[in-house]
Amino acid sequence: MTAEENWYANDAATFGDRLAGAREQTGLTQGELAERLGVKLAVLEAWEQDLKEPRANRLQMLAGMLNISLSWLLTGQGEGPEGPPDEEPLDSDINLLLTEMRGLRGEIAQTGERLAQLEKRLRKALKQR
């Protein structure tokens, strides 16, 4: 499989990248897909930005609505949309930087979640005083 055939390669793309690409390939806006799924626009945006992940039932719905395999959506392996034919593969140094940036973005999101949980616990503890 060439890089052009696997434009959302597992080592370069995140779940959010694949979701956004498949949505765009079907011609749906974020608002349209969110409405069809029965979720708020902010929820879909968070999925595409890799800030949150959908539950299993929503994953199945996404795969069906976007005409892609669940496996491709989760891992980049399997039946997914065809990539743009003119796109050149990225240099390995750029891929490494992108991968590291995405990893940091995920870590920041997790840290934000943890901070919110700690703040909630603190507020609860202060109310019990």
- Which pTM value belongs to this model? 0.58
pLDDT (tens digit per residue) in 19-69: 998 999 989 999 999 999 999 999 999 999 999 999 988 988 998 888 888
- Taking Cα atoms as reference points, which of 119, 15, 128 lies closest to residue 62? 15
The pLDDT of residue 4 is 40
The pLDDT of residue 75 is 83
* CA pair distance 3, 102, nearest whole angstrom: 20
* CA pair distance 35, 40, nearest whole angstrom: 7
Q: What is the mean pLDDT of residues 77-90?
A: 64
| Residue 120 and residue 42 in contact, taking contact as beta carbons nearer than 8 Å | no
pLDDT (tens digit per residue) in 94-128: 877 877 877 777 678 778 788 888 999 999 999 99
Q: What is the mean pLDDT of residues 2-25?
A: 70
